[in-house]
């Protein structure tokens, strides 16, 4: 069963605007971590932000914030004040922790294009 | 530079040949992961190690694939009798169990083309 779902294959946003990239997940493990990664055309995977399942507040890292809605099992990434350099693929990932294994599962990604 | 390094960065081979990729993780990281990524898709989990122990291997992984991490440091991923469907980017990542977030640190990948 697919555990990470990213329903937006592609998104456009105007420079300086905010954009939300959707991610839903499925797990029965009470302990898990959610991650967002950016993959520019050059190919490297860049870690952006982390949210733990027990974290009370939504994570923020500079222009990135994570809209964590635990009951709905969603972990949307919000990028504020988009820049041309934000154009890339974005992947949501989950790590389950209680089972003693630490496997990370990735979604299929969303390609973001920032327009000048 | 203390990041994750992978070698070779590019490999072109003929169908039926064996190929081996090497990954050197960040030195203090005890967990090492291999992923495969095809164009336009997310990384697909292949296997992971904690120290020298291979703790999990994807059920999707053919018996032609084998990975080792003999001394808990670098790792190798070997593909025997390559097929055209093996063409992909092979990503290595490492993580530490002591960090708060435990995020994966990725190498730049090894791109395999099977002719």
Given a contact cutoff of 8 angstroms between Cβ atoms, the answer to whether B33 and B95 are in contact is yes
pLDDT tens for the 116 residues of chain A, in order: 559 999 999 999 999 999 999 999 999 888 899 999 999 998 899 999 999 999 999 999 999 999 999 999 999 999 999 999 999 999 999 998 766 668 899 999 999 999 99
Contact state of B106 with A44 under an 8 Å Cβ cutoff:
yes
Nearest CB to A50 within list B45, B101, B108: B101
Q: Which two tokens stand for residue A64?
A: 């990135």
Q: Which residue has the higher pLDDT, A22 or B101?
A: A22
The terminus-to-terminus CA distance of chain B in angstroms comes to 34
Average pLDDT over residues B36-63: 91
The Cα A30–Cα A50 span in angstroms is 16
Check if A38 contacts B (Cβ < 8 Å).
no
The neighbouring-strand residues paired with B104 are none
Average pLDDT over residues B62-82: 94
User: Which residue bears the tokens 């083309």?
Assistant: B113
Interface of A with B in 43-102 (CB under 8 A): 43-45, 47, 50, 52, 91, 93, 95, 101-102
The Cα A63–Cα B90 span in angstroms is 30
Biggest CA–CA distance in chain B, Å, is 44
Which residues of chain B does A103 touch, with a Cβ-Cβ cutoff of 8 Å?
45, 48, 56
Which residues of chain A does B44 touch, with a Cβ-Cβ cutoff of 8 Å?
106
Q: Which two tokens stand for residue B91?
A: 């990503």
Closest approach of A106 to chain B, Cα-based (Å): 6
Given a contact cutoff of 8 angstroms between Cβ atoms, the answer to whether A104 and A48 are in contact is no
Looking at residue B51, its pLDDT comes to 92
Q: Would you call A114 exposed, middle or buried from its count of C-beta atoms within 10 A (0-12, 13-18, 19+)? A: buried
Closest approach of B58 to chain A, Cα-based (Å): 10
Q: Best interface-test mutation with B: which of A1, A6, A43 has the largest number of B CBs within 10 A?
A: A43
Does the pLDDT value for residue B1 go beyond 80?
no
Given a contact cutoff of 8 angstroms between Cβ atoms, the answer to whether A50 and A59 are in contact is yes
- Split at pLDDT 50, 70, 90, the class of B79 is very high
Closest approach of B39 to chain A, Cα-based (Å): 11
User: Which residue bears the tokens 């960065």?
Assistant: B9
Which residues of chain B does A44 touch, with a Cβ-Cβ cutoff of 8 Å?
106, 108-109
């Amino acid at each position: 069963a697919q555990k990470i779902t990213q329903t937006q294959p592609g998104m456009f946003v105007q420079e300086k605007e905010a954009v939300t990239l959707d991610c839903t997940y499925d797990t029965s493990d009470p302990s898990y971590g959610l991650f967002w990664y950016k993959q520019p055309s050059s190919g490297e995977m860049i870690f952006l932000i982390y949210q733990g399942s027990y974290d009370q507040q939504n994570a923020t890292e500079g222009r990135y914030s994570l809209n964590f809605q635990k009951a709905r099992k969603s972990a949307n990434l919000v990028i504020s004040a988009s820049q041309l350099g934000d154009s890339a693929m974005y992947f949501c990932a989950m790590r389950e922790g209680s089972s003693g294994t630490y496997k990370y599962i990735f979604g299929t990604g969303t390609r973001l294009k920032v327009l000048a | 530079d203390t990041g994750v390094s992978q070698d070779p960065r590019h490999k072109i081979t003929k169908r039926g040949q064996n190929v081996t990729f090497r990954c050197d993780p960040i030195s203090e990281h005890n967990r090492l992961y291999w992923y495969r990524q095809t164009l336009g898709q997310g990384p697909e989990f292949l296997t992971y190690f904690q120290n020298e122990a291979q703790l999990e291997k994807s059920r999707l992984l053919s018996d032609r694939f084998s990975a080792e991490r003999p001394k808990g440091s670098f790792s190798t991923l070997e593909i025997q009798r390559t097929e055209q469907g093996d063409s992909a980017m092979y990503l290595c990542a490492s993580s530490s169990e002591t960090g708060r977030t435990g995020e994966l640190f990725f190498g730049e990948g090894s791109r395999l083309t099977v002719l």
